Amino acid sequence: MSLSFEEKLDRYAELAVKVGVGLQKGQRLMLRGAVEAAPLVRLVVEKAYQAGASVVEVLWDDEASALARYRFAAPDTFNSIPTAAADALLKGGENGDALLAIRANDPDLLAGQNPEIVTKVQRMNMEYMQPFSRRITGKEINWSIAAAPVPAWAEKVFPDLTPEDAMAKLWETIFRICRVDQDDPVAAWTKHLDKLASWRAHLNAKAYRELRYKAPGTDLILGMPDNQYWMGGRSVSSRNDIDFVANLPTEEVFSAPHREKAEGVVTASKPLSYAGTLIDDFSLTFEGGRVVDVKAGSGEAIFKKLIETDEGASRLGEVALVPHSSPISASGILFYNTLFDENASCHLAVGKAYRPCIVDGVKMSDDEFKAAGGNDSLTHVDFMIGSEEMDIDGVTESGEVEAIMRAGEFAFGD
């Protein structure tokens, strides 16, 4: 079956509403959309109302306006942040509204800008949005993130193509990876989500006390909390029991490592695009759960500033397993976009842990969550470490060592 671009875009919008955010009849939707992706954003608005949304509130993001501030505003004016959109999100979170974000980002947007100012603004935004961030990481509301190409991103991914061809190819790649071009995308997603559910069920039954990673440049031991809980694929909002898929695409199962039990060195297998800067060729050394050394070919200063955000920013909040044969990895494309690259590779995240990744973590006080091994921070940043050369073992409570991954693929199940 051959579909036109318009038909695929229509399917993509419907998938984001029905499978991604899981919008319910009568629910309000906060739609955060990039101005560069306006046609898709408007199509999502239509799909949301057709699905029964009571109100769709569009909160526009404009990278060009954001860049203009860094380029032209006086340095002494960076003591405050724009809050109109942030306040709308905070209020929507309190109300239990759904959230869908359509991101369209230039990975090099802030390259060359003052890293001190970039980091300062990032921190102020994170501090202001912390109450909303807690609702997101606690799976309190149903939310999802999808992406749309912009010329700068497309040309970064496909530098040998004309701008027009690069945009067309990136769109087609996104449609394929998100299963939009299959006969029944919703059925295809149901089958995929069932597979992710089987992987997380296996890991939850095992409850490994320790994970051991081996790969070129990586020799890492992660301790796991006693009451760990693996997630991935479908989530259920704690406030209203709505099924949703937080990321489109998604290929991972993930949990929270113990904040004090990371030892060794890990080398990134893909660049990280963070705060408009590309961090590449980097490795981290851990002792007692903390990053004690950072080395990077580029972007080292930005990563060092990131882990200085607060005490928890230098510790791990997420461990995620992704088979090397995932559709994103199989594409052979480096996306320079965490939403895609993290689903091509096993990854870790510095910063905040998702509270549901520790049993009853949502109900715990901050001190109780920390005592259980959970990490808290203003930030949460994923970086990719997996490859076809990675082996991962799990250590059971009785001390047995079992294969979890071999050569980048799961060593259990089908």
Does 237 reside within a domain? no
* Whether residues 28 and 86 fall in one domain: yes
* Whether residues 54 and 98 fall in one domain: yes
Q: How many CB atoms lie within 10 A of CB 298?
A: 15
Does 89 reside within a domain? yes
Does 97 reside within a domain? yes
- Residue 20 DSSP label: I
Strand partners, 86: none
* Whether residues 16 and 108 fall in one domain: yes
Q: pLDDT band for position 112 (50/70/90)?
A: confident
Altogether, the residues listed in the chain come to a count of 414
pTM of the model: 0.85
* Whether residues 164 and 288 fall in one domain: no
Does 191 reside within a domain? no
Q: pLDDT band for position 388 (50/70/90)?
A: very high
pLDDT tens digits for range 242-264: 999 999 999 999 999 999 999 99
* CATH number assigned to the domain comprising residue 36: 3.40.1830.10
Q: pLDDT band for position 323 (50/70/90)?
A: very high
Angular region, 245: left φ>0, alpha ψ -120 to 50, beta rest: beta
* Whether residues 401 and 347 fall in one domain: yes
Query: Which of 149, 176, 172, 184 has the alpha carbon at shortest distance from 19?
Result: 184
pLDDT tens digits for range 20-51: 999 999 999 999 999 999 999 999 999 999 99
* Whether residues 120 and 210 fall in one domain: no
End-to-end CA distance of the chain: 29
Out of 162, 177, 192, pick the residue that ends a domain.
Answer: 177
Could you tell me the strand order of the sheet in which 380-384 lies? 253-255, 316-321, 347-351, 380-384
Does 378 reside within a domain? yes
How many structural domains is the chain composed of? 2
* Whether residues 116 and 59 fall in one domain: yes
* Whether residues 163 and 312 fall in one domain: no
* Whether residues 276 and 342 fall in one domain: yes
Range of the domain at 308: 206-231+246-410
At residue 134, does pLDDT exceed 90? no
pLDDT of residue 414: 58
* Whether residues 158 and 305 fall in one domain: no
- Is the distance from CB of 317 to CB of 357 less than 8 angstroms? no
Does 194 reside within a domain? no
For residues 55-68, average pLDDT: 95
* Whether residues 157 and 286 fall in one domain: no
* Whether residues 57 and 163 fall in one domain: yes
Phi, psi of 221 (to 5 degrees): -120, 125
Does 196 reside within a domain? no
Structure tokens at 353: 């842990």
Structure tokens at 348: 């870790």
Does 240 reside within a domain? no
